[in-house]
Each structure stands twice: as structure tokens, then as C-alpha cells.
Amino acid sequence: MAPLPGRLRAASDPAELPGVHTKTVRVDGFPLSARVCSAPSPRAVVLALHGGGTTSLYFDCPGRPEFSLLRTGAQLGYAVVAMDRPGYGISAPYAERYRDPQRRLETTYRALERFLDQLPGRPAVFVAGHSAGCELAVRMAADPRGRHLLGLEIAGTGLRHQPATIRALEAAGVTRRRVGRRPAGTRETLWGPAELYAEDVWNTPYIASDSPAYEGPARVWVERDFARLAAEVRVPVQFSLGDHERVWESGPAALAEITALFTGSPRVRSNEQAGCGHNLSLGLAARSYHLRVLAFAEECVVQRERAERGEAA
């Protein structure tokens, strides 16, 4: 395999890290926002889709640049576009218009085109989704346009919630998904053990966001649509769960059950990420997880390059 592009510098020195820029585009007259960090000539683009109750800041943890997927990706020669999903970020006031999943899909693809217009060379796209963001990520990959994607990473999702998580949330009466408004104890239920996170990250309110009203009903996609959509995906897939996942059923059987859904994918890989809870991109092992995502994206780039040269896979 070709080596990863670029030279990885010490992540502890913020002066050595690429800058992150907030970008805004308009689709049908409505704004959508993203955080973007790019190498000068990006090898590929990673479109990162955050989960519920947060924003694109999930992939660029405030005060912790070493945890940032955006900065790590740019260091390794990529562009990372962490998009605020429709109904989040600057589009939050217009969330009601994105209730229909097909509209969210169309809006995201059109917004992506506009973000790509701002990058040099218009490189190919790899999609990475986390938790509730996996719904949109899988829909993108299952769509006919998804056959042009490099690959797909989904993390922090599953087919069934852990019974203890359901009981804890029902007992707490959680009806909104803003982290700062959750009753005591629910954060550890949703994030995983506190010791997997730096204290300043565990206590920060800055990544929290109200979720749009559609997010609750959208969760039925797991039961209604996941298997059908997964079977339509035609690009390589990696599915990741933290080894301390507490929201979804986890372990080898759960990993195998999810990967088996992607019957049309040329390559499917499962990844039980060591030292991670539900929020893989915010924990102390975030950098390890991001390097694994980027390594998989690099494999997809190399395979695309070989196919374009007419070489056998």
C-alpha cells in the first residue's frame, strides 16, 4: 500500500496544526454551515456527519486540537468537511423544512457540491457518520450518487439499544437532547465511562445543541430502513463501535450483525475501538480512532487509483 501522504507532526503543538474555517453555503435560499480544514492539495475529502444533540464541533473538540478529526485529516493530506446536518448549526431555525429524509438527503448532496467548489481539485469524497448522523451517511451511500463515493465509515450506531440505556433514559424523563439539560447520570449512560474522557471535555457544554424535532422520529430508520439501505451500498464500509459502548448493543456479535447487512459492498470491515465509549471522537482515544478512519479512507483512495489504472483489486 502507498504510504499515507504528508508528515504527521506533534499534535500537542497548536501552532503546527492546520486552521479550521467556518463555511456557509445556501441551498434553495437556505443556509447550511460546516467546519472545514484542508491540506493545500487534498488527496480526498472526508465528509463528517455528527450525531444528535451536538454540531460539527463534535469533530473539532474545543481546546483539544489533538482530538480533532479535521486537523488530523488535514495533517495527513486530506480535506475534512464537518457539516452541520440540516436542522443544526446555522440551519437550526429552518429545521422543520428538513423533516422529510429525502429532502435532507438532497440538501446534503447539494450543500456538499458547494463546499467542494471551495476546495482545490474537487477530490473524491469519503463519508463518515456518527450515531444519529449514520442515518444520513447510509442514505447518501445507498443513493445512486453514492456509488461515486470512496467509502463509508459509520460509528456509534446499531440495531438495538442496550436495555439499561432505555431504562435510564425513561427513568430520567429525557425528552430533549441538549447535553447541558440532561438529568444527572444520563451523560455517563450516553457517553460511556467518565474515565475515558479528559475532565475538561467531560464537563464542557460547548459541543451541545438542541436537536430538531425530526430527530426523534428519524430514529425509527434503524428498524425500518437500515437493512434495506445497507444492501444498496456499493462502496467499501467500515463499522466502528467503542469497546465501552453503552447506547447500542455491542461486542463481536453486534459488529458481525451490522456488517452482514452490507451485502452489496465490495469490502466490509468491523472495528471495535479500544478505550472508547459512545463518543469516539471526544475521548482520550479519539486520535487513535481518527487515524483508523483515515487509514481506511486511504485504502479506499488506493483502491480507486488502482481501478482507474485498470489494475485488479
Residue 298 has pLDDT above 50, yes or no: yes
Cα–Cα distance, 290 to 8 (Å, whole number): 13
- Mean pLDDT (the chain) is 88
Structure confidence at residue 280 (pLDDT)? 97
Q: For the segment 20-44, what is each residue's pLDDT rounded down to a tens digit?
A: 999 999 999 999 999 999 999 999 9
pLDDT of residue 166: 73
Model confidence at 15: pLDDT above 60: no
Rounded to a whole number, what is the distance in angstroms from the first to the last CA of the chain?
Answer: 12
pLDDT at 312 exceeding the cut of 60: yes
pLDDT of residue 171 exceeding 70: no
pLDDT at 163: 83
Q: 1: Cβ–Cβ under 8 A, 6 or more apart, which residues?
A: 298, 299, 302
Residue 172 has a pLDDT of 52
The Cα 64–Cα 96 span in angstroms is 33
CA distance readout (Å), 68 to 85, 160, 205:
18, 29, 17
Residue 311's pLDDT is 78
Does pLDDT of 257 surpass 50?
yes
The tens digit of pLDDT for each residue in 61-100 reads 999 999 999 999 999 999 999 999 999 999 999 999 999 9
Higher pLDDT, 99 or 10: 99
Question: Which pLDDT score, from 0 to 100, does residue 300 have?
Answer: 98
pLDDT of residue 31: 98
Interior angle at CA 290, CA 286 and CA 296, nearest 5: 150
